[in-house]
Amino acid sequence: MQFVASWPHVSVISIIDILLVAFVIYEFLALVRGTRAALMLVGVAVLALAFYFSRIGELVTLNWLISTLLPYAVFALIVVFASEIRQALARLGRGLTLSRSAAAETDAYDDIVLAANLFSQNQTGALIVIEREIGLRTYIESGVPLDAHLSYDLLATIFRPSAPLHDGAVIIQRDRVAAAACFLPLSMNPVLSTQLGTRHRAGIGVTEETDAIAVIVSEETGAISLAVSGKIERDLTVEQLRERLGQLLRRYVPPSTLPTPITGGADALDADGRRALPHPADSRIDAGADD
């Protein structure tokens, strides 16, 4: 309080006001960093500087043009930054929500890790989307509804190239497979590598629109990727995938929960009674869909 008293024109309310504004600006910059919105933000800053210098330099025509278009610029920014605004509001809602998803308290997602390991070994393309706080009903309705219990065997069956539902994404709600063969929005982020195919862009696209997690397996290389918040983590090992899912789903994952693949056929069981992963030499699924 002595520090505040030494500044007669600065009150406690003013300091709180400044801190809140600084926090909002920081969160906004953190939200747009590394996205296409960052480049658009630079363009908006250039237009703002042009408007400022046109007022100072008394450039009448340029000043009139910018002043005429400025009221419509607000609506244009809302349209352009619609995805970022949705993410910001969703993040705020998650921060204020005290409830936690019941799926984070179960071991059902270990089956996703096991299935991703199988797909990686066999170079089978797969896209698995895990719903969190924001509902994925729109995307679920675009596919084939299943509402089946999540299991390793079910995922392995769905993504078998000869299966009718292997194209598209599987959406997971809690410990249930809500739907398969779902259509997802493709990311149009120009920053993404040209090496990423439709499957990867679809996985990134749904995480740009929602807070979902997408597990992607490339049929070209068998590499495992994880997409969240519009960003992708590529070339993950099975252990890294399990750890990242545990972090994102807010649950502790012991280091010994993932069974070690053993040879001996698809019906072999490990010490915990789980179905062991088949060795690549024992069963290989031919790749069928574009990456």
Q: DSSP letter string over 189-231?
A: -TTS-TT--HHHHHHHHHHHHSS-EEEEE-TTT--EEEEETTE
Distances (CA, A) of 204 to 155, 167, 178, 230: 20, 17, 20, 5
Position of tokens 């799926």? Answer: 103
Q: Is the dihedral of CA 236, 118, 108, 289 positive or negative?
A: positive
Question: In tens digits, what is the pLDDT along the chain, a chain of 291 residues?
Answer: 455 455 556 778 888 988 999 988 887 777 666 666 677 777 778 878 887 887 787 788 877 887 787 777 778 777 777 766 776 676 666 555 544 444 433 456 789 999 999 999 999 999 999 998 888 988 999 999 999 999 999 999 999 988 899 889 999 988 889 999 999 999 888 778 777 889 999 999 999 888 899 999 998 899 999 999 889 999 999 999 999 988 888 654 455 445 444 333 334 334 344 444 443 333 333 333 456
Measured CA to CA, the distance from residue 284 to residue 124 in angstroms comes to 9
Which spans in 107-265 are helix H?
Answer: 110-122, 137-140, 152-158, 198-209, 238-248
Best CA proximity match to 247, nearest among 198, 203, 213, 196: 213
Q: What SS3 state is found at 266? A: coil
